[in-house]
Amino acid sequence: MLRKSFVLGAALSLNLAPAAAADLNAGQELYSAECAQCHGRTGRGTAVFPRIAGKTEDFVTERLKQYRAGETVGPNSALMTAAVNELTDADIENLAAFITTNFP
Amino acid sequence: MKRNAALWALCAAMSSTSAYALLAGAASADTPTLSYETVLTDLEDPWDMAFLPDGTMFFTEKCRGLSVRLPSGDVTALLGMAGTEGYATTADDLFCEGQAGMNGVAIDPDFDSNRFVYVYSTSSLTEPGSNRVIRLAVNDDLSGVSDRTDIVEDIPYKPEASDHPFGGPGAHNGGRIRFSPGDGYLHVTTGDIHGGHVPQSPTLLGGKVLRIDRDGNAAADNAPPEGFDPRIFTYGHRNVQGIAFRPGDHNPVISEHGPWHTDEINVLFNGANSGWDPRPNMAGRGDCPDDYCGYSPNQMEGMDPEERAAWMPMTDYETYPDAMVPAWENNNLSQGISGIAYLAGDQWGDWDGKLAVGYMGIGFGGTPPGQRIDVMDIAEDGQSATATEFPLPMESGRFRSLVMGPDGSLYAAIDEGDIYRITPN
């Protein structure tokens, strides 16, 4: 029983670790510099650029990694790949945390 | 992490022959300080505005329709598109897709007597969809519209996706409409719809500026080449989303989006070619994706804009030696140039009579997004210009439309959903 509690506690700590590590300020800086001019100040989308408000952190993370890998996901893939191809995993984590925290 | 503008972009900017004052302070001392007020907010892609002398403002939202804001501040929804609610009238054939939808709006010069307003909108009435210029009669209390007459029905619309950046349906849709205060004709700006053969086509109305009367008939003195549709005033354009008329002689001036390079401001002349020809197997080029070379030779990655321009020029002087010479090429950059308006009135100081130019901003391949408003001084011959960055009193945004209001202020619509009034003090 004691062992099970320890394992559960460790797992919870591991699950919480990424969110705790995300730097929302860094995510905000990235969003303002690289994302806001197309997706809008509040992520609601503009013109031909889709809404990203209301997405889950997993969704945002997966999409950013797909674009970074050069995958085609929609007609603006060239723009997205060019915008994110130098992002690190930490950058993506920070961006996803900022977007989902501030644009629920 | 990419957050730097590539060195070549800076070099290109610095080596350009067009002068550019990066700081407002570098401009003349006789320029106003600016304040702003948010006139409307939380709109859905506001696209254009048009004013009556008393301040009544008609405005469009790309996927919703036409509304009017009264001087009291009350807003009435007049003509809704398919799927909308709350409008006095709904037209189920009007739809939006990508860049297409309800775009420009203009008021008839004789509105007092005929009550006509006009919108440019995408319609499903003819396959595979087209852009139309629609004339409407507004009732006396500005609560509704009637007597719809489609005065132009055949401006091309892009119905299917293609293998290009921004390659979705509805791309390069043009859409600005303005009456000239000089000759009274309605000028209509269109886009090439990612169709390689469209801009130089004598019969297709994409990639053109049309000049027509209120019934849609060609202006009698339009002078396109023989065999062209007589409604065509100029041709060989890429995607024109701004038009204004020069103070004094009322010569039309346009803005058009560049292809990963070279946004342009052009002072038009009757019958002229703007020199955009993205057909494959032209000017030394081979085949291109989906028969459109507009982003080639490297359409999905960043590239030195000058090198790109040499391969696929915005104005191809070699093929078309008589093509119009642009007044402004945005230092070889493409940053989403859009609405333009001449500032008018003593309150603007040295900017009175200068052209305000809005940019929506596109950050791609090392080009800085460049969301801003420039104030541009265009030379008398229309072949060069200097630009000063407008010291915005509010946060920047995607400047879709700029319109002078009857109160002497500049009104700016941004895609984020706001319409601002920018007032010189």
Here the CATH number for the domain that contains residue B218 is 2.120.10.30
Mutant choice from A48, A73, A81, A103 vs B, greatest count of B C-beta within 10 A: A48
Q: What is the pLDDT of residue B298?
A: 85
Q: Does B289 touch chain A (CB under 8 A)?
A: no
CB–CB contact A48 B363 (8 Å)? no
Residue B2 in any domain: the answer is no
Q: What is the pLDDT of residue B203?
A: 98
**What is the mean pLDDT of the segment spanning B379-383?**
96
Residue B204 in any domain: the answer is yes
The pLDDT of residue B27 is above 70:
no
Residue B290 in any domain: the answer is yes
CA-wise closest residue to A96 among A38, A14, A21: A21
Banded model confidence at residue B103, pLDDT cuts 50, 70, 90: very high
Higher pLDDT, B233 or A36: B233
Banded model confidence at residue A34, pLDDT cuts 50, 70, 90: confident
Q: Which residue of A has its CA nearest to B44?
A: A46
CB–CB contact B415 A40 (8 Å)? yes
Using alpha carbons, list the distances in angstroms from residue A100 to A17, A43, A76: 17, 10, 21
Residues in contact with B120: Cβ distance below 8 Å, sequence separation at least 6, in sequence order = B102, B103, B104, B105, B131, B132, B133, B134, B155, B174, B175, B176, B177, B188
Q: Which residue from B3, B365, B415 is facing A33, i.e. has the nearest CB?
A: B3
Q: What is the pLDDT of residue B2?
A: 35
Q: Are residues B136 and B148 in contact, defined by beta-carbon separation less than 8 angstroms?
A: yes
Model confidence pLDDT, tens digit, residues B293-337: 999 998 877 788 889 999 999 999 999 999 999 999 999 999 999
Model confidence pLDDT, tens digit, residues B208-259: 999 999 999 999 999 999 999 999 999 999 999 999 999 999 999 999 999 9
Q: What is the pLDDT of residue B105?
A: 99
Model confidence pLDDT, tens digit, residues A52-98: 999 999 999 999 999 999 998 888 888 888 889 899 999 999 999 99
Give the number of C-alpha atoms closer than 13 A to the C-alpha of residue A53, restricted to the C-beta side. Answer: 13
**What is the mean pLDDT of the segment spanning B393-402?**
96
CB–CB contact B3 A87 (8 Å)? no
The rounded distance, in Å, linking the Cα atoms of A3 and B424 is 72
CA-wise closest residue to A92 among A14, A15, A18, A16: A18
Give the Cα-Cα-Cα angle B244, B248, B253 (nearest 5 degrees). Answer: 25
CB–CB contact A48 B166 (8 Å)? yes
**Which percentage of chain A shows pLDDT scores above 90?**
47
CB–CB contact B165 A79 (8 Å)? yes
Average pLDDT, chain B: 92
Q: What is the pLDDT of residue B178?
A: 98
**What is the mean pLDDT of the segment spanning B4-11?**
34
Domain ranges of chain A: 23-102
Domain count, chain B: 1
Residue B159 in any domain: the answer is yes
Q: What is the pLDDT of residue B144?
A: 98
The pLDDT of residue B187 is above 70:
yes
Nearest 10 degrees: CA dihedral of A61, A63, A67, A70?
Answer: 110
CB–CB contact B363 A78 (8 Å)? no
CB–CB contact B166 A37 (8 Å)? no
Chain B hits for A76, CB-CB cut-off 8 Å, are 165-166, 168
Q: What is the pLDDT of residue B20?
A: 53
The pLDDT of residue B153 is above 80:
yes
Q: What is the pLDDT of residue B72?
A: 97
Model confidence pLDDT, tens digit, residues B114-129: 999 999 999 999 999 9
Banded model confidence at residue A41, pLDDT cuts 50, 70, 90: confident
Residue B1 in any domain: the answer is no
Q: Which residue from A33, A75, A87 is facing B166, i.e. has the nearest CB?
A: A75
Write out residues 2-31 of A within 8 Å (CB-CB) of B.
30
Q: Are residues A38 and A32 in contact, defined by beta-carbon separation less than 8 angstroms?
A: no
**Region A23-102: CATH code:** 1.10.760.10
Return the structure tokens found at B107. Answer: 């008021």
**Which percentage of chain B shows pLDDT scores above 90?**
87
The pLDDT of residue A1 is above 60:
no
**Which percentage of chain B shows pLDDT scores above 70?**
93
CB–CB contact B165 A78 (8 Å)? yes
The pLDDT of residue B101 is above 60:
yes
Q: Does B304 touch chain A (CB under 8 A)?
A: no
What Rg, from alpha-carbon coordinates, does chain B have? Answer: 20
Higher pLDDT, B58 or B167: B58
Residue B102 in any domain: the answer is yes
Q: Which long-range CB contacts under 8 A does A2-7 form with residues at least 24 apart? A: none
Residue B61's beta-bridge partner residues?
B46, B65
Mutant choice from B396, B415, B418 vs A, greatest count of A C-beta within 10 A: B415
Q: What is the pLDDT of residue B6?
A: 34
Residue ranges making up the domain that contains B169: 7-424
**What is the mean pLDDT of the segment spanning B161-176?**
94
Chain B hits for A40, CB-CB cut-off 8 Å, are 415-417
Tell me how many residue pairs between chain A and chain B have CB atoms under 8 A apart: 79
Q: Does B369 touch chain A (CB under 8 A)?
A: yes
The pLDDT of residue A18 is above 80:
no
Q: What is the pLDDT of residue B29?
A: 67
Residue B134 in any domain: the answer is yes
Higher pLDDT, A38 or B106: B106
CA-wise closest residue to B306 among B5, B10, B2, B19: B10
CB–CB contact A82 B302 (8 Å)? yes
Q: Does A85 touch chain B (CB under 8 A)?
A: yes
Q: Does B168 touch chain A (CB under 8 A)?
A: yes
Chain B hits for A41, CB-CB cut-off 8 Å, are 395, 397, 416
**What is the mean pLDDT of the segment spanning B134-162?**
98
Edge-to-edge strands, sheet with B186-189: B177-179, B186-189, B208-212, B232-235
Residue B104 in any domain: the answer is yes
How does DSSP assign B203-243, residue by residue?
Answer: S--TTEEEEE-TTSPBPTT--PPTTS-TTEEEE--SBEEEE
CB–CB contact B168 A46 (8 Å)? no
**What is the mean pLDDT of the segment spanning A20-24?**
81
The rounded distance, in Å, linking the Cα atoms of B202 and B199 is 8
Q: Are residues B385 and B265 in contact, defined by beta-carbon separation less than 8 angstroms?
A: yes
